[in-house]
A and B are shown apart, each in its own frame.
Chain A
Amino acid sequence: MSSTETQMPARRASRRALPILKSVAGFVAIVATTYLGLLAVTFFIGRVVPIDPVLAIVGDRAPAHVVERVRQEMGLNLPYYQQFVLYVKGVLQGDFGTSVLTTNPVMTDIRRVFPATMELATAGTIIGAAFGIPLGVLAAVKRGSIADQIVRILGLIGYSVPIFWLGLLALLVFYARLGWTSGPGRIDVVYEYSFTPVTGFYLIDAVINRDWAAFRDIFSHIILPASLLGYFSLAYISRMTRSFMLNELSQEYIVAARAKGLSETRIIWGHALRNAAVPLVTVIALSYAGLLEGSVLTETVFAWPGLGLYITNSLQNADMNAVLGGTIIIGSVFIAINLFSDVLYRMLDPRTRN
């Protein structure tokens, strides 16, 4: 091979690397800006609300000089912008301050509670997508039929019935009456001390530990709240799937696929759904993010030791560091999920790649 030929690919590669670098830089800039905005909004809301964190620590009978000393120790006497800079510095080092309630660093608490929420939301989204997508496809393909009406009613119930009420009902029926599932909590007391969390996702940890008895117990704990959250997201996912599918099925390339003699199964799942999957990714990502922050009620009903419960408890005890930390974590996950769905979007739709 001559030397010019070997140089060609290298030059082409470097020409391709520049736009990639540029898009990565743009990406980082967007993330940084969004993150800074998130920090600013949460921080100032936290400072503006009429809660005095000093009083929460020292109590309302403490003498004035103690209150003043604690205020200075916490840096609350500084101007807001200085407080903000200090806070951002801390956050960048993973330091959200200390929780008054648990006396742990907020980060330690979050590391404990966040996997619980994420495990529940992930299980819920998997259930929601696994049932919601096929139901939506069915409703679109059999448009106007009984099946379509049933899916419609199922969806309507899903987003109009309050989730805490459904949760209580589910506990009453499946736990108290039928005894099919376990009650509130993540894991039975029996396993609580023998079980060593590795990742914080108990189902995965049980598999890693090959502790099948614990796995069964964890599964019977998570199935009710996860199904509820799943039903909640199913309602949304099935409606969106239906409308995306109806749109795709009316396109000309479907006529072409029929003219090629493809089977209905292949046309629906291989052609139409493959195209509908592009906007669906965004819908599922948003509903996943919604479950992460919106499972407060479910966590309360099922005594699920997750982030939602943690933030609610902290808020009730004026534990502002914990509230801010939790909010920022949720916000970060939101940003991460959005970025992830953007990447997935590009993978699924070749038209967005260039």
Chain B
Amino acid sequence: MNPLLTVEDLHVRFPTRTGVVEAVRGVSFTLGRERLGIVGESGSGKSQTGRAIMGLTPTHAEISAKRMEFDGIDLLRAPPAQRRALRGNRIAMILQDPKYSLNPVMTIGRQIVETLRTHEKVSQAEARKRALAMLEAVQIRDAARVYDLYPHEVSGGMGQRAMIAMMLVAGPELLIADEPTSALDVTVQLEVLGILDRLVRERGMGLIFISHDLRLVSSFCDRVIVMYAGKIVEELAASELSRAEHPYTQGLLDCMPRIGADRHPLPVLERKPEWAL
């Protein structure tokens, strides 16, 4: 089976006044219809990897790769219009905080309908019907009421479900979730993850789950990539996380709290310069 997404030697560079900052330095992976987790600390390049695939890299950044293909489409050489037609339609992305990622002056319903009508020729009534069905699919019970609410009128968990509905309504094949639950309360996190898990499974989507939460990623994904300073330092099956070989991954694992175990003193995360080479 052909992979859904192939990334080979991806680089993202930001020219700044003090020199070029390389956020992503030679990332390669392939993805089928599976769930891939990308973990790493802040600034490790995990978000920029996701944005490069979406085509949302800031215009002043330079982006290069040996190969970056989605379903046979060369993403680097595709014209902007074709990439735009992919976004939201075949590749979608969920952002971190619904408080900021939903347009505050537009009702939730309109924002969902907007995605749909950008990519499909459907009537307003049909679009509304599908948006309501999508709201129900993310387990919003009172869909007709929530449809007419503004983002500030719903809770964080509800907002993130609306975000998921907005991004999945056009039926994408690949979903990039960039820290989708980091801004939510712990109890709500599990609910939203459960909804996401079910939808990805039911619709057979490929998922890239970007997070700094190693435990969350390992329980949610099939495969995990660990990034450090713009590079992949380790790639392993989620079930084999405890057998990680790279000292950085081991360091991350050592920092996780364990019920019933004394964690004092908490080990300091090691960052050896040679890992970044």
Interface residues of chain A, those whose CB is within 8 Å of chain B, are 251-253, 255-263, 266, 271, 274-275, 278, 348-351
Contacts and interface: CB of A to CB of B under 8 A. Distances in A.
Contacts of B33: none
Contacts of A255: 56, 95, 101
A350 B163 CA distance: 19
B105 A261 contact: no
Contacts of B97: 252
B182 interface: no
Contact of B101 (A253, A274, A349): A253
Nearest to A263: B84
Nearest to A258: B56
B104 A256 contact: no
A253 B114 contact: no
Contacts of A349: 104-105
A259 B95 contact: yes
Contacts of B152: 350-351
A348 B106 CA distance: 10
Given A275-B105, A278-B105, A348-B105, A259 B88 contact: yes
A171 B105 CA distance: 45
Contact of B100 (A251, A274, A348, A350): A251
Interface string B79-108: 000001111110011011100111111100
B103 A257 contact: yes
B105 A260 contact: no
B130 to A, nearest CB: 15
Given A260-B166, A262-B114, A351-B152, A271 B103 contact: yes
B30 interface: no
A348 B56 CA distance: 29
Interface of B: 54, 56, 84-89, 92-93, 95-97, 100-106, 114-115, 118-119, 150, 152-153, 163, 166-167
Of B88, B97, B119, chain A has the most CB atoms within 10 Å of the CB of B88
A260 B95 contact: no
Shortest beta-carbon contacts, A-B, top 8: A261-B88, A261-B87, A252-B100, A260-B88, A259-B93, A350-B150, A252-B101, A256-B101
B105 A259 contact: no
Given A350-B150, A351-B150, A256 B102 contact: yes
Contacts of B167: 259-260
Of B92, B101, B119, B153, chain A has the most CB atoms within 10 Å of the CB of B101
A258 B88 CA distance: 8
23 contacts: A251-B100, A252-B96, A253-B100, A253-B103, A253-B104, A255-B56, A256-B102, A258-B56, A259-B87, A259-B92, A259-B93, A259-B95, A260-B114, A260-B167, A261-B86, A261-B89, A261-B118, A262-B118, A263-B118, A274-B103, A275-B103, A350-B104, A351-B150
A258 B115 CA distance: 10
B165 to A, nearest CB: 12
B87 A258 contact: yes
Contacts of B84: 261-263
Given A257-B103, A351-B150, 9 more contacts: A253-B100, A253-B104, A256-B102, A259-B88, A259-B92, A261-B87, A261-B118, A271-B103, A349-B104
Contact of B54 (A259, A262, A274, A350): A259
A256 B95 contact: yes
A349 B106 CA distance: 9
A351 B95 contact: no
Nearest to A251: B100
A138 to B, nearest CB: 16
Contacts of A251: 100
B100 A261 contact: no
Nearest to A278: B105
Given A259-B87, A259-B93, A263-B84, A351 B104 contact: yes
Nearest to A254: B103
Contacts of B105: 274-275, 278, 348-350
Contacts of B86: 261
Contacts of B54: 259
A253 B102 contact: yes
Nearest to A353: B150
Given A260-B115, A261-B115, A275 B102 contact: no
Contact of B119 (A253, A261, A274, A350): A261
A127 to B, nearest CB: 27
A255 to B, nearest CB: 6
B120 to A, nearest CB: 11
B39 to A, nearest CB: 21
A45 B30 CA distance: 79
A274 to B, nearest CB: 6
Contact of B87 (A260, A271, A275): A260
Nearest to B112: A260
A271 B115 CA distance: 13
Nearest to A260: B88
A259 to B, nearest CB: 4
B89 A252 contact: no
A47 B220 CA distance: 79
Of B87, B96, B163, chain A has the most CB atoms within 10 Å of the CB of B87
B258 to A, nearest CB: 34
Contacts of A260: 87-88, 92, 114-115, 118, 166-167
